[in-house]
Amino acid sequence: MLRFHRRRLAACSVALAAALAISACGSKTGESDSTGGVTADTSGDTVKVGLLNSLSGTMAISEVTVRDAIMLAVEEINAAGGVLGKKLAPVGEDGASDWPTFAEKAEKLIKVDRVAAVFGCWTSASRKAVKPVFEENKALLFYPVQYEGLEQSPYIFYTGATTNQQIVPGLDYLKAQGKKSVYLVGSDYVFPRTANKIIKAYAEANGLKVLGEDYAPLGSTEFGTIVNKVKASKAEAVFNTLNGDSNVAFFKEYKSAGLTAASMPVVSVSIAEEEVKSIGTQYLAGQLTAWNYYQTTTGAANDKFVKAYKAKFGADKPTSDPMEAAYVSVYLWKAMVEKAGSFDVEKVKGASNGVTFEAPEGLVTIDGATQHIHKTARIGKIGDDGLITEVWNSGGPVKPDPYLKGYPGASGLS
């Protein structure tokens, strides 16, 4: 008797669910989609903007400084009168180094806070997680970190370098230095794996030998074996796409194994001034980096940026490329809004092509077709004082080419 009732209970609830589900069917895939997305709330004296960075978890080591840079830009803009006469009200959310959390918080910023634009994300995985959210709701994301390319979302503006503005110049530099062979070391995720595919394609086209390729899980700090392999390969240079904590362990091991910048230089694409500070110059002095901006980059705009940043966050805090790209992204959005004369996402997007900003890294221009920006590539050498000084640059801003269409050796990558 008892048993019978419970079965019926279970059956009832399933039936109820099924009935409700069937009665509530919406549109099928492929049908025209009329959901228009959410419009930002611009009715008051202030306009909300979203800041989406990891403040806790493993990625906080990098993302907190990016958020500081965004806050600096927001405050400067407010002090100068805001955007279209409205002050910006920043709404911060913690992505917690967890990709689904990024998606949840992005949706919250768009739907609940109704922000006009969101600035943030660092890892490719977090960007991939929020991309559908921004596309579905037709909202804007400004992504400030160098990445692996092969992406062009209509609702994301990429203010960091794509591969032809960082990886390819790094290789050009090695080639110009007469290096004939490289060893590839990277963290096990999408950026290093894609970057290394590009490097291998480049190497084949340019007579460079790739002597080995190794990946360490993100967060891994055991590099004994990898460094042994690198040393045994007798490569002329190392191309390093490790991320975060792993870099610290890698360089400590590298130095301990007796490898030096003179004998086997390492070109890194994820080590900026902040990371140099946490690894230590005793391990890094003389090694190379590929970026678009250094704290030492010359120019009035950079002097002002560095001074303002240090005044706000402390004299010992360095500025770095991702921070600069994040800072620039807020100003670029402001310029786009002012050109469009509206906060409306479609109008802002429409106004984007050719918008320029005198950035700390030099003049940057938005390429409307790809929604990336023209940036100058710079190779730097890490000095004993922890600062990075430029040893080579591309001479002027490089046009973004996220799918490397202009590089015949790289065809078939995407």
Partner 1 sequence: MTVILGQLFTGVSIGAVLLLIALGLALTFGQMNVINMAHGEFIMAGAYTTYVLQQTITDAGLSLLVALPVAFAVAGAMGVLLEWALIRRLYTRPLDTLLVTWGVSLMLQQLARDIFGAPNVQTKAPDILTESTSLGADLSIANSRLFILGLVLLAVAALTAALKFTPLGRRIRAVVQNRDLAAVSGIPTARVDRLTFFIGSGLAGVAGVALTLLGPIGPTMGTNIIIDAFLVVVVGGIGQLKGSVIVAFVLGMLQAMVEYLTTLSVAKVIVFIAIVAFLQWRPQGLFTLRTRSLA
Partner 2 sequence: MNPLTNLSPRVRAWLGFGLGAVVLFAAAPALLTDFRLSLLAKYLCFAIVAVGIGLAWGRGGLLTLGQGVFFGLGGYAMAMHLKLADAGEGNMPDFMELYGQLDELPAWWAPFANPVFALAATVLLPMLVAFGLGSLVFRRRVRGAYFAILSQALAAAMVILLIGQQGTTGGTNGLTDIEGFFGYDLDDPVNQRMVYFIIAGVLLALLALTRQLMHSRYGELLVAVRDSEERVRFLGYNPANVKLVAYVVAAGMAGLAGALFVPAVGIISPALIGIVPSIEFVIGVAVGGRAALLGPVLGAVAVAWAKTALSERFPGTWTYLQGAMFVLVVAFLPGGLASLWGLLKRRREATPPAPEVGERVLVKEVAA
Residue numbers of the site for partner 2 (CB under 8 A)? 2-3, 5-7, 9-10, 13-14, 16-18, 20-21, 24-31, 33, 35, 55-56, 92-94, 96, 98-100, 103-105, 107-108, 111-112, 123-125, 128-129, 131-132, 136, 150, 188-190, 193-194, 197, 215, 217-218, 414
Specify the residue, 151 or 321, whose C-beta has the smaller distance to partner 2: 151
- SS3 per-residue string spanning 263-306: CCCEEECCCCHHHHHHHCHHHHCCCEEEECCCCCCCCHHHHHHH
Strands 288-291, 378-382: pairing is antiparallel
Instruction: Work out how close the CB of 74 gets to partner 2 at its nearest, in angstroms, rounded to a whole number.
Output: 15
Specify the residue, 190 or 308, whose C-beta has the smaller distance to partner 2: 190
Q: Which of 153, 52, 47 is nearest to 94 (CA)?
A: 52
In one letter, which amino acid is 310?
K
Instruction: Work out how close the CB of 226 gets to partner 1 at its nearest, in angstroms, rounded to a whole number.
Output: 7
Binding mask 233-272 for partner 1 (x = CB under 8 A): -----------xx--xx--xx-xxxx--------------
DSSP three-state, residue 9 = helix
Instruction: Work out how close the CB of 397 gets to partner 2 at its nearest, in angstroms, rounded to a whole number.
Output: 27
Chain mean position to CA 100: 17
Scan residues 55-74 and list those touching partner 1 (CB under 8 A). 55-58, 60-65
Instruction: Please tell me the distance from the alpha carbon of residue 207 to that of residue 336, in angstroms, as a whole number.
Output: 43
By CB under 8 A, is residue 375 in contact with partner 1? Answer: no
Residue 398 DSSP class:
B
Of partner 1, partner 2, none, which one does residue 272 interact with (CB within 5 to 8 Å by kind)?
none
User: Looking at the DSSP assignment, which residues form a beta bridge with residue 365?
Assistant: 356, 374
Specify the residue, 25 or 79, whose C-beta has the smaller distance to partner 2: 25
What lies within 8 Å, CB to CB, of 73 at 6+ separation is 326, 327, 328, 329, 330, 331
Query: How open is the CA angle 282-283-284, to the nearest 5 degrees?
Result: 100
- Out of 188, 338, 344, 390, point to the residue binding partner 1 (CB under 8 A): 188
In one letter, which amino acid is 142?
F
Q: Which of 386, 409, 167 is nearest to 284 (CA)?
A: 386
For 354, what's the count of Cα atoms within 13 Å in the CB-facing half-sphere? 4
Of partner 2, partner 1, none, which one does residue 128 interact with (CB within 5 to 8 Å by kind)?
partner 2
Region from 120-128, 140-148, 171-179, 277-285 binding partner 1, contact rule CB under 8 A: 277-285
Region from 15-23, 223-231, 340-348, 352-360 binding partner 1, contact rule CB under 8 A: 223-231
Residues of this chain that interact with partner 1 (CB under 8 A) are: 55-58, 60-65, 188, 214-217, 219-222, 224-226, 228-229, 231-232, 244-245, 248-249, 252-253, 255-258, 274-275, 277-280, 282-283
